[in-house]
Structure 1
């Protein structure tokens, strides 16, 4: 896998109530990823960037919502998120302490 592609696959962590609950209960981390990213690419990117062991990856294509504004209706873009299961005892900490 191309090293440039590794840095482009993960767009950032997805923080929500559901992702926080899955992190506590089943040791999963949720990422927003490129819509063209495969599960294998996501797994390799997380393992290389965060130096953790990944047990599995599940992906979800999230449909963009239709919103109403003063110009009429507009549609938010579709995006993809990945639920990454980590090995027992491993964790990814996104908070940077300085």
Structure 2
């Protein structure tokens, strides 16, 4: 009796269990959802913020996570702002207005 690694299994050692990769329909659905969210980002953020301020704990957590991720600072700084590790910019706010 041999005790080779992979003996008696469906796949040979080093062979992927799914050589075709993930289902194409799933990737298409993810892209469609990302596009839908991007197209409605301002409305989604406004609604989430309104609900958070009204006391919805899930929306408050979502807004906290959004702010902690640095997304809010990058958006406030403009679309040409550098985004990534170490590239966070914090805009200055004076009397409620971006300076």
TM-score by length of 1: 0.21
Structure having the higher strand fraction is: 1
TM-score by length of 2: 0.21
Structure ranking higher on relative contact order (CA contacts 8 Å, 6+ apart): 1
